[in-house]
Amino acid sequence: MTDSNATPATATGTVRLHRVLRAPPERVYRAFIDAAALCKWLPPHGFTGTMHAFDPRVGGGYHMSFTNFGTGASHAFRATYLELVPGQRIRHTDTFDAPGPAGEMQVTVELEESICGTSLRIVQEGIPPEIPADFCYLGWQESLELLAKLVEPEIPDGA
């Protein structure tokens, strides 16, 4: 979904996602604030992730890059945490390193306990005009598929 009030030269996009995960909110939240977990699930299909710096506190954040496995091309970005409410809410900004797109995106992650586990809602706003919102939507869908594979299994201790 894009902002219909913006002009084409300055238009920014917004994506909204909802997914129900068979895992408790605390486990899903942990996957968003753990460097190794982010490297495992956040890069969409066909990409690897490298964490360059990580500071999981309000005012902190992370510096990460995604590398296209087929071509070797990569892009880096920085996230800055604005709000961290364990098991409930995460808000952060994302900015691309140069020479990437300019501007700042805002990401809001809301977690709510549901009868099945966790209702997860994500809103990503301020997507630069040179990145089609559908690409972000598709990437998030792939990432959330990987997130489910990380947080849903119930693995006993010692396994």
Q: What is the pLDDT of residues 84-103, one digit of tens each?
A: 999 999 999 999 998 888 88
Q: Tell me, yes or no, whether 62 lies in a domain.
A: yes
- Check pLDDT > 50 for residue 147: yes
Query: Which two tokens mark 95?
Result: 């900015």
Residue matched to tokens 């809602």: 121
Start-to-end Cα distance in the chain: 43
Helix (H) or strand (E) holding 113: strand 105-114
In a domain, 76, yes or no: yes
Residue 2 lies in a domain: no
Question: Total domain count for the chain?
Answer: 1
Q: Residue 97 belongs to a domain with what CATH number?
A: 3.30.530.20
Q: Which residues contact 85 (CB under 8 A, 6 or more apart)?
A: none
Radius of gyration, CA atoms only, the chain: 16
In a domain, 133, yes or no: no
pLDDT of residue 11: 54
Q: For residue 149, what are its two tokens?
A: 């594979």
Q: Coil, strand, or helix at residue 6?
A: coil
pLDDT digits (tens, 9 = 90+) for 5-37: 433 444 579 999 999 999 999 999 999 999 999
C-beta atoms surrounding 98 within 10 Å: 8
Do the Cβ atoms of 88 and 25 come closer than 8 Å?
yes
In a domain, 5, yes or no: no
Find the domain containing 113 and state its range: 13-128+140-151
